[in-house]
Structure 1
């Protein structure tokens, strides 16, 4: 049997994470001794490895709990587990596309800063200077009376 400290060392999780996951009911095989101290067997360690893998994929705790519950129900839930993974994959793909947009935006900003540093463009990045350059960005800035109407 392993302690929380042992389980953390074996799995590469923090002790806090091990306690958190057990408190959330994600490690069904965890036991407690007469002093209410958590004790982990090999199966508990396997659950922790599985949870770590799902968490690293970005799966929310609620979905990991659902996955654990499905696993406890046995082979009859293989389709539900597969569906859960497919849904998680779709959510991850949406986040990936959002991340690509963020990177593209950052690339544009970096190009702008490089142009500023090379004196090819005025500094339009500082909000403190925007009042003086509104004429350059009429598509972004609005007159005070128009912004109050919105």
Structure 2
């Protein structure tokens, strides 16, 4: 059995979050000791892992609670749970693609800065200088 503190470290969640999830009924197998402290066995940890991932893809606590309730109803809800997971998988895939675009952008920016640092190109990253550079470029382009 594990304490809130141990589980929070294990799953990289705050202690507050672990308590919040259990208070909302998202971990139906959580147990209590004689002092009413939460105790987590492997089943409770498994529930928390699922909740953590569903929350990461943007599912609301209320929707996660509905999913948990469906799980507790048993086999008759498998199709409904499957559809929920497919929807969350699609959302997760979209988040992954966005994260890939973000990483690509950051890689390009980092490479640009390296070129500046290595003297390959002048510093064009300071927005404070853009107007004056832009104005000079535009003045050169205007017909006399």
Q: TM-score with structure 2 length normalisation? A: 0.72
- How large is the Cα RMSD of the aligned pairs? 3.0
For structure 2, the residue ranges without an aligned partner over 5 or more in a row are 139-144
Q: Distance in 1 between matches of 2:91 and 2:120?
A: 41
Q: Is residue 31–residue 39 contact of structure 2 (8 Å, CA) maintained in 1? A: yes
Q: Distance in 1 between matches of 2:137 and 2:34?
A: 70
Change (3 A) 1:38 1:30: farther
Shift of 1:135: 5.6
Shift of 1:10: 5.4
Q: Distance in 2 between matches of 1:7 and 1:102?
A: 34
Q: Distance in 2 between matches of 1:34 and 1:111?
A: 59
For structure 1, the residue ranges without an aligned partner over 5 or more in a row are 139-150
Alignment of 1:24-63 (within 5 A): 24-30=24-30, 37-40=36-39, 42=41, 45-56=42-53, 58-59=56-57, 60-62=59-61, 63=63
Aligned residue-pair number: 132
* Structure 1 consecutive aligned stretches of length 4 or more whose deviation exceeds 6 Å: none
